[in-house]
Amino acid sequence: MVSRVIPVDTFDLVIFGGTGDLARRKILPGLFRRYCAGQMPPEAKIIGAARSEMDAAEFREMVREAIGEFGSAPQSAGQLDAFLERVFYEAVDAKGDGGWDALKSHLRDDAVRAFYFSVAPSLFGDIAERLNHKGLSTPDSRIVVEKPFGHDLASAKALNATLAQYFDETQIYRIDHYLGKETVQNLMAVRFGNTLFEPLWNAQYVDHIEITVAETVGVGGRGAYYDKSGAMRDMVQNHLMQLLCLIAMEPPAKFEPDAVRDEKLKVIRALDPVEPQDIVRGQYGAGGGEDSYKTHVENDRSRTESFIALKAQISNWRWAGTPFYLRTGKRLRARTSDITVVFKDAPHSIFGADAGRHRNVLSIRLQPNEGMTLDVTIKEPGPGGMRLIDVPLDMAFADALGTDTEAVPDAYERLIMDVIRGNQTLFMRGDEVEAAWAWTDPIIEGWEARGDVPVTYDPGGSGPEDALMLLHRDGRRWREIKV
Ligand code: NAP
């Protein structure tokens, strides 16, 4: 299947932090891929901005190297050179006054204007203020801000208020790259494009839902940052809650930004507080030739969790009584993200007790090998009476659709193109972010007040034993984290 590429309007994209890790690993290689796919107009401009003094030629060399290291190979020798001709650089200090006029001279009146804040959140206010005061932003300009969006409710509110001084909510694109993943959007297509699932998508038919985001890596070089954050702030408050919202929300009237975001917000607001016995926090120990978490963060008293599992309950008509189990952690057995919807038993088994217990399970894999599996119960072939087995209807999207996975835009590419298109559907609104902090803050404050210490878990497994007990206690078990 040939994927259809619709070119976006021409644009001037300024990347503050253009020399940083995120720009080099994701943003610039992603833009190059969109250029090769024919989606980025040939006249579009990308302007890097950071404090380092360098000219456009030096920046282009840096971009060439970044694409060589993190991007895909150019399809023709001239493609990368042609792309680099669209790349510029200005030295600008977010906190200073120099360089802003030079930056402004790149911007055209007839192009979409977007400013990507790929810098520490402490600089967001400085940049927003200068864009406004120095006349770089227009009422149609867009700004893109990265996570972490606040550290708690108070800081998120302060950040929202700062940005709101200079930009309207319709101009602010808060990125959560999980929302840019193909399967995450497919989740909405599956739920709202089929008649099959939606009638069953409620507490009457769904026993429970699991959301797992497992990583094999440890904190590595991000130790100092991570130790101030932990799995709850780094993963649950944003990525896992966004997945939870898409799974649990009511059908929006239209697939439009505010219609979708209104429904997500209602889910967050309907979440019950989490009781201490419904949370398990873990920290990885040493093993497999690797150091423990505490060694990585150089703090042998650290109480930060590198793993969390919790049971969330949504108190609304659709979901009352169906728990959502969320878990995420580092140094686990495999790198995998998936959502598992476990349906209830058939109300009456005509096959008798010998047939055993069988349930339909819908598994949605976000990575690796994006796809879906639906376990369906059938008769085991052969003689010997009616024995039942569960077989998977497996759909790896790449196989099923014959899609060239190289041609499918990754999350960042898709989201940047959505910014240029002016489509905010897959970006978090300010009130959503605040509501998510309003739910997570008391949970964090609770364990801090109690002085809870995370349990140590062995690397390479599925996290602490207690996390297994969280489900066992309810007569359930997690889907295995498979390599
Ligand atoms: P980074 O590697 O430390 O890069 C920071 C960038 O900001 C550099 O280009 C730096 O260049 C520039 N900078 C620093 N101070 C500045 C100032 N006063 N004025 C102008 N530019 C300044 O950070 P990063 O990893 O790219 O992360 C950027 C943002 O994305 C952060 O908010 C981070 O939390 C978020 N994020 C990153 C990732 C990731 O994978 N890296 C993932 C998710 C979110 P100069 O030193 O030359 O000024």
Mean pLDDT, to the nearest integer, of 10-30?
97
Q: Whose CA is nearest to atom 41 of ligand 1?
A: 22
Q: Whose CA is nearest to atom 43 of ligand 1?
A: 147
Report whether pLDDT(2) > 50.
no
Question: Rounded to an integer, what distance in angstroms lies between the CA atom of residue 407 and that of residue 404?
Answer: 5
Closest CA to 325 of 206, 197, 230, 227: 206
Is the model more confident about 76 or about 142?
A: 142
CA atoms within 13 Å, Cβ hemisphere of 333: 10
Q: Whose CA is nearest to atom 39 of ligand 1?
A: 22
Q: Which residues are annotated as a binding site for substrate?
A: 177, 181, 215, 234, 330
Q: Hey, is 158 helix, strand or coil?
A: helix
Mean pLDDT, to the nearest integer, of 1-8?
69
- Specify the ligand 1 atom closest to the Cα of 94: 19
Closest CA to 163 of 192, 189, 142, 179: 142
Residue with tokens 């833009």: 31
Task: Give the largest Cα separation in the chain, rounded.
Answer: 83
Q: What is the pLDDT of residue 403?
A: 60
DSSP state of 281: E
Q: What is the pLDDT of residue 428?
A: 97
* Tokens, residue 254: 């239209």
Q: What is the pLDDT of residue 483?
A: 82
Q: What is the pLDDT of residue 105?
A: 98
Per 3-state DSSP, what percentage of the chain is helix, strand, and coil (rounded to 5)? 40, 20, 40
Question: Rounded to an integer, what distance in angstroms lies between the CA atom of residue 304 and that of residue 235?
Answer: 13
Q: Which distant-in-sequence residues (6+ apart) come within 8 Å of 424 by Cβ?
A: 170, 173, 257, 261, 418
Quote the ligand 1 centre to 28 CA distance (angstroms).
14
Is 239 among the residues known to form the active site?
Answer: yes
Q: What is the mean pLDDT of the chain?
A: 93
Q: In what order do the strands lie in the sheet with 388-396?
A: 388-396, 371-379, 361-367, 336-343, 206-214, 324-329, 307-312, 279-284, 455-457
Q: Which distant-in-sequence residues (6+ apart) come within 8 Å of 268 by Cβ?
A: 241, 245, 432, 435, 436, 439
Is the model more confident about 139 or about 398?
A: 139
Closest CA to 90 of 114, 59, 119: 59
pTM to 2 decimals?
Answer: 0.94
Q: Which residues are annotated as a binding site?
A: 17-24, 51, 147, 177, 181, 215, 234, 330
Quote the ligand 1 centre to 119 CA distance (angstroms).
4
| CATH 3.30.360.10, the chain: domain bounds | 179-409+429-472
Using CB distances shorter than 6 Å, the residues near ligand 1 are: 16-23, 50-52, 92-95, 118-121, 123, 146-148
- Specify the ligand 1 atom closest to the Cα of 148: 34
Q: Whose CA is nearest to atom 21 of ligand 1?
A: 50
| Percent of the chain's residues with pLDDT above 90 | 79
Strands 361-367 and 371-379: antiparallel
Q: Which residue out of 106, 151, 208, 239 is catalytically annotated?
A: 239
Report whether pLDDT(160) > 50.
yes
- Specify the ligand 1 atom closest to the Cα of 18: 9
Phi, psi of 32 (to 5 degrees): -65, -40
| CATH 3.40.50.720, the chain: domain bounds | 11-146
CATH architecture group of domain 11-146: 3-Layer(aba) Sandwich (3.40)
Report whether pLDDT(207) > 50.
yes
Quote the ligand 1 centre to 125 CA distance (angstroms).
15
Q: Whose CA is nearest to atom 1 of ligand 1?
A: 20
Quote the ligand 1 centre to 183 CA distance (angstroms).
28
Helices 56-70 and 77-84 pack at an angle, to 10 degrees, of 140
Report whether pLDDT(201) > 50.
yes
Report whether pLDDT(210) > 50.
yes
Amino acid making up residue 240: L
- Specify the ligand 1 atom closest to the Cα of 92: 20
Total H helices, total E strands in the chain:
17, 15
Q: What is the pLDDT of residue 358?
A: 85
238 touches 432 (CB < 8 A) = no
Q: Which distant-in-sequence residues (6+ apart) come within 8 Å of 18 by Cβ?
A: 28, 47, 48, 49, 50, 59, 89, 118
Quote the ligand 1 centre to 120 CA distance (angstroms).
5
Closest CA to 126 of 172, 92, 149: 92
The class (CATH top level) of 179-409+429-472 is: alpha beta
Q: What is the pLDDT of residue 405?
A: 58
Quote the ligand 1 centre to 55 CA distance (angstroms).
19
Candidates 47, 51, 116, 159: which one to mutate for ligand 1, based on the most atoms within 8 Å of Cβ? 51
pLDDT (tens digit per residue) in 281-324: 999 999 988 899 999 998 889 999 999 999 999 999 999 999 99
Per-residue buried b or exposed e for 170-191, using 16+ beta carbons within 10 Å of the residue's own CB: ebbbbbbbbbbbbbbbbbbebb
pLDDT (tens digit per residue) in 248-290: 999 999 999 999 999 999 999 999 999 999 999 999 999 988 8
- Specify the ligand 1 atom closest to the Cα of 51: 48
Q: What is the pLDDT of residue 477?
A: 95
Per-residue buried b or exposed e for 36-45, using 16+ beta carbons within 10 Å of the residue's own CB: bbebbbeebb
Amino acid making up residue 73: A
pLDDT (tens digit per residue) in 79-99: 999 999 999 999 999 999 999
Report the DSSP beta bridge partners of residue 208.
342
DSSP state of 232: I
pLDDT (tens digit per residue) in 341-374: 999 998 888 888 777 778 999 999 988 878 889 9
Q: Which distant-in-sequence residues (6+ apart) come within 8 Å of 405 by Cβ?
A: 398
Q: What is the pLDDT of residue 385?
A: 79
Closest CA to 444 of 305, 324, 283, 328: 305
Q: Which residues are annotated as a binding site for NADP(+)?
A: 17-24, 51, 147
Per-residue pLDDT band at 406 (split at 50, 70, 90): low
Is the model more confident about 3 or about 56?
A: 56
Measured between its terminal Cα atoms, the distance across the chain in Å is 29
